[in-house]
Structure 1
Amino acid sequence: MAENTSGRGQRELKVKVKTARGRKLSSTRWLERQLNDPYVHRARADGYRGRAAYKLIELDDRFRFLRPGVRVVDLGCAPGGWLQVAVARVNADGAKAGKPVGRVLGVDLQEVAALAGAEAHVLDFMADGADDAVRDWLNGRADVVLSDMAAASSGHRNTDHLRIVALCEAAADFAFDVLEEGGTFVAKVLQGGAEATLQARLKKAFDRVINVKPPASRSDSAEKYVVATGFRGRADTAD
């Protein structure tokens, strides 16, 4: 068959979705965005449980905090895309012969489908004793704490910003309780200014704090990720 050099047919057509009866316009826009999102298609092809997996891949490609032998805790881990990335990169499944074998532990309010190399527990990380439970499961402290959590949207940007900052602050408090010295904390926040207190606390507790928006994060989203490395220890986390 002759090779097509005209360029016709080589560009994917954009899918347009009509608003069905009973479907909100916002739902139609979300569906249209999903159908046209290249990361959604890549996730299906690569076997990831969601497009968010590429955000962690891009963050780790830059900062290299997921290394073979590392112990990882993923807060709000459902549906498990970040667990999949962490398992492969820290060698939690032992697939990389001759490399140290890490540990990957996820917690969420809902059950998560089983994943080879990862442990998923139903747990509210803000409950009393949650940090003790995680340290018991790990038989020690974590090297990395991840959080891709987002509070349920209210439709009001300022309210949503405050909610996700509060959630990130709670995740940071949890990280202070379970991280090993030298450890890393990675969490999603929203741009908006209310996170100044969080940033100040992280800069006091970690050697380096960087805010970044990975390419897989949608351009129309206000989300960014804070990557804090070089945890100094619990004594440096007091307000």
Structure 2
Amino acid sequence: MSRSGRDPSKRVRTAKKRTASSTRWLERQLNDPYVKQAKAEGYRSRAAYKLIELDDRFGLIRGATRVVDLGITPGGWSQVVRKLAPKATIVGIDLLETEPIEGVTIFQMDFMDDAAPAALEEALGGPADLVMSDMAANTVGHKQTDHLRTMGLVEAAAWFAVENLAEGGAFVAKVLAGGTDDDLLKLLKKHFKSVKHAKPPASRKGSSEWYVVAQKFKGRSD
């Protein structure tokens, strides 16, 4: 075992139909301590530890009574909320199918669908204490386009949070390198007392993802 915790013996042989990049990805997965820990602790993905680390720093989850998980698949973030706030009402949505999670209401639909916000609001049964989004748009390989598409989702998630959070609530969302766009940052600073960016240790160093954490929702003033 190396000092980094990586097992040098765990190398993946390149299959005939497997590209070099997919082989590197698979090898990285096999040697990723977060992947191993997720399997050992029953989380569906290593992404669970990003939320755990963000919660350790910002105190997002404990005490929450209503939580919305935007882009819930595969479900790791909602699993964390279930563990840390077992009595909370949790509602999630994703375009992809998500295996059921006990105590979580899941909608398989596009968050950008006009009917999605109303469905989430009805299932939630009241103002949310936390709106969290790990959504990212499908990439097309063009950096600027991919950034705009993902930030469009983040902005939609932020507006949903502004319209559905209880006073004092919080919003956390994945953004890409460069942080939050100016218009979105203005929106968050208008409605939240604290807006910060963070890159949790579980987020791979080579990844372009960061998270924006907005806390102490002031309420709507319009």
Answering whether residue 70 of structure 2 is matched by residue 84 of structure 1, we say no
Match of 1:68 among 47, 63, 67: 63
- 1:38 Cα offset (Å): 0.7
Answering whether residue 10 of structure 2 is matched by residue 13 of structure 1, we say no
Answering whether residue 176 of structure 2 is matched by residue 190 of structure 1, we say yes
Instruction: Please give the alpha-carbon distance, in whole angstroms, between the structure 1 residues aligned to 2:203 and 2:167.
Output: 29
8 Å contact 1:168–1:188 — kept in the other structure? yes
8 Å contact 2:168–2:215 — kept in the other structure? yes
8 Å contact 2:180–2:212 — kept in the other structure? no
Instruction: Please give the alpha-carbon distance, in whole angstroms, between the structure 1 residues aligned to 2:204 and 2:6.
Output: 19
- 1:230 Cα offset (Å): 1.2
Answering whether residue 42 of structure 2 is matched by residue 47 of structure 1, we say yes
Instruction: Please give the alpha-carbon distance, in whole angstroms, between the structure 2 residues aligned to 1:19 and 1:69.
Output: 46
- 1:109 Cα offset (Å): 1.6
The alpha-carbon distance between structure 1 residues 72 and 54, as it changes in their structure 2 partners (threshold 3 A), is: same
Instruction: Please give the alpha-carbon distance, in whole angstroms, between the structure 2 residues aligned to 1:80 and 1:195.
Output: 27
Instruction: Please give the alpha-carbon distance, in whole angstroms, between the structure 2 residues aligned to 1:234 and 1:130.
Output: 21
Which one-letter code corresponds to 2:63 in the other structure?
A: P
The alpha-carbon distance between structure 1 residues 194 and 70, as it changes in their structure 2 partners (threshold 3 A), is: closer
Match of 2:22 among 23, 27, 30: 27
- 1:12 Cα offset (Å): 4.9
Task: After superposing the two structures, state which structure 1 stretch, 216-225 or 116-125, moved more.
Answer: 116-125
The alpha-carbon distance between structure 1 residues 12 and 37, as it changes in their structure 2 partners (threshold 3 A), is: closer
The alpha-carbon distance between structure 1 residues 207 and 149, as it changes in their structure 2 partners (threshold 3 A), is: same
TM-score (normalised: structure 2): 0.91
Unaligned runs of 5+ in 2: none
The residue that corresponds to 1:204 in the other structure is 190
The residue that corresponds to 2:126 in the other structure is 140
Which one-letter code corresponds to 1:168 in the other structure?
A: V
Which one-letter code corresponds to 1:120 in the other structure?
A: I
Match of 1:174 among 160, 172, 175: 160
The residue that corresponds to 1:105 in the other structure is 91
Alpha carbon RMSD of aligned pairs, Å? 2.2
Instruction: Please give the alpha-carbon distance, in whole angstroms, between the structure 2 residues aligned to 1:138 and 1:227.
Output: 21
The alpha-carbon distance between structure 1 residues 69 and 226, as it changes in their structure 2 partners (threshold 3 A), is: closer
- 1:201 Cα offset (Å): 1.5
Answering whether residue 216 of structure 2 is matched by residue 230 of structure 1, we say yes
- 1:48 Cα offset (Å): 0.3
**SS of structure 2 residue aligned to 1:180:** strand
**SS of structure 1 residue aligned to 2:221:** helix
Unaligned runs of 5+ in 1: 1-6, 92-100
The alpha-carbon distance between structure 1 residues 166 and 16, as it changes in their structure 2 partners (threshold 3 A), is: same
The residue that corresponds to 2:136 in the other structure is 150
- 1:113 Cα offset (Å): 1.3
TM-score (normalised: structure 1): 0.85
8 Å contact 1:145–1:184 — kept in the other structure? yes
Percent identity of paired positions between Structure 1 and Structure 2? 54
